[in-house]
Amino acid sequence: MSYNVQYFLEQALSSVRDALAGIPSEIFVVDNNSTDGSVEMVAAKFPEVKLIANTGNVGFSKANNQAIEASTGEYVLLLNPDTVVQETTFRKCLAFMDEHPDAGGLGVKMIDGAGKFLPESKRGLPTPMVALCKIAGISRLFPKSRTFGRYHLGFLPPDELHEVEVLSGAFMLMRRETLDKVGLLDESFFMYGEDIDLSYRIVLGGYKNYYYPGTTIIHYKGESTHKGSLNYVLVFYKAMAIFYKKHFSHSNALFFSKLILLAIYLRAGLSVVMMPLRKMLGITGRQLENRKMATGRNVLVVGEEEEYERALQILLQSGIEARYVTRIAAADAKGKGSEFFLKQYKPSEIVFCKKSLTYACIIKNIAALSGKGITCSILPDSSDFIIGSTSKDDRGYYYTAKSEVGEKLLVFV
């Protein structure tokens, strides 16, 4: 499902195209009435894609259901448009599912655009007690506790295979027979919560959900409905309320369910009240400013000469001087790794050229650079933009030859 994420979507489809080489498949993009040229871009650059262009924003669940109902494959993958997959991601995941007939769904290890592990890659069922710990902030204080840290299962090592209860809708691979049994996404959820609901129904249907770290993907996770916005508060907390009314109102957890609903509405009310105060104090959340390169910012381009020249022309549009841009060959990225970049060149930002590198190599290097204070971005193959993100909480950024400044990207997830 896509909504006003043209650049992210183009990069995602490029990685999907590479990963599907030799695999019988069909790709659907359901666009919820984007106004940024996404539909035209898909039609022009990815003619193999089956494009469904809605005339309105019908939400995440309904849009994905449109594609699922039109598809014919043995497996169904929900994949966000702000993701990047490795060339072997799909083969590895399909092989795992084939070897584990008890698996109804599968999720993978996800990192953000800065290489940081995303804890939502593996989650436990948000029972009333688990949700209460999350809402009250207790799970953040004790993330690795088996009692208080069950929402993100922080006590389970992220590099090991685990059976989990909840998968992320950003990458959710399922058997069609599982969906035939438990049903599709619940369209009562406009956005948020639908992946939790479907994951739970998969478990109730007698299947297992697995967290599979055998492959890593990037999930930029910028949000157009920011956590500081009224729209986010209304949509997110409404989704939580729908989930608890649906699954816990008629059980022994009724008391806790009522308590959680009360906490949800109180938290939503507090968020609404705090918004004017946060704006008055200048606290707007972590967002990336419109990109214009600061003088003296060292940029390292990883790629062959032709790709370096292409990247340089885009970077020059952002205001950087050519003397601050350096190139190293793709072979150095493959052989010497991230420590070599840091010691030899001391860059502020590294641009990885996809035409010279595999997505697997790029993702590996971005993960290795996590926490080093280096901004990482990607120049997709045959694209006229460079794209990146500094954390899961910013909207992302891009440099493009079309304008002088990289603008904020609005991403629905």
Do 266 and 164 sit in the same domain of this protein? Answer: no
Q: What is the CATH number of the domain that holds 375?
A: 3.40.50
Query: What is the per-residue pLDDT for 44?
Result: 97
**C-alpha radius of gyration, the chain, whole number:** 21
SS3 of 298-314: the string is CEEEECCHHHHHHHHHH
d(CA 165, CA 247): 14
Residues in the chain: 413
Residue 160 has φ and ψ, to the nearest 5°, of: -125, 150
Instruction: Determine, yes or no, domain membership for 164.
Output: yes
**237 and 335 together in one domain:** no
Helices (H), 170-287: 176-182, 194-204, 230-247, 254-280
For residue 131, being part of any structural domain is answered with no
The reported pLDDT for the residue numbered 268 is 60
Q: What is the pLDDT of residue 245?
A: 79
Same domain, 94 and 190: yes
List the domain range (segments joined by +) for residue 336: 299-400
Q: What is the pTM of this model?
A: 0.88
Verify that 359 and 256 share a domain, yes or no.
no
Low-confidence ranges of the chain (pLDDT < 70): 222-234, 237, 249-296, 402-413
Q: Are residues 111 and 65 located together in one domain of the fold?
A: yes
In a domain, 32, yes or no: yes
Cα separation values, 296 from 200, 303, 396, Å: 51, 22, 22
The answer to whether the beta carbons of residues 68 and 60 sit under 8 Å apart is: no
Residues 107 and 14 in one domain: yes
Could you tell me if 269 and 325 lie in one domain?
Answer: no
Strand partners of residue 79: 171
What is the CATH number for 50? Answer: 3.90.550.10
Q: What is the pLDDT of residue 233?
A: 62
Q: Looking at the structure, do residues 311 and 339 belong to the same domain, yes or no?
A: yes
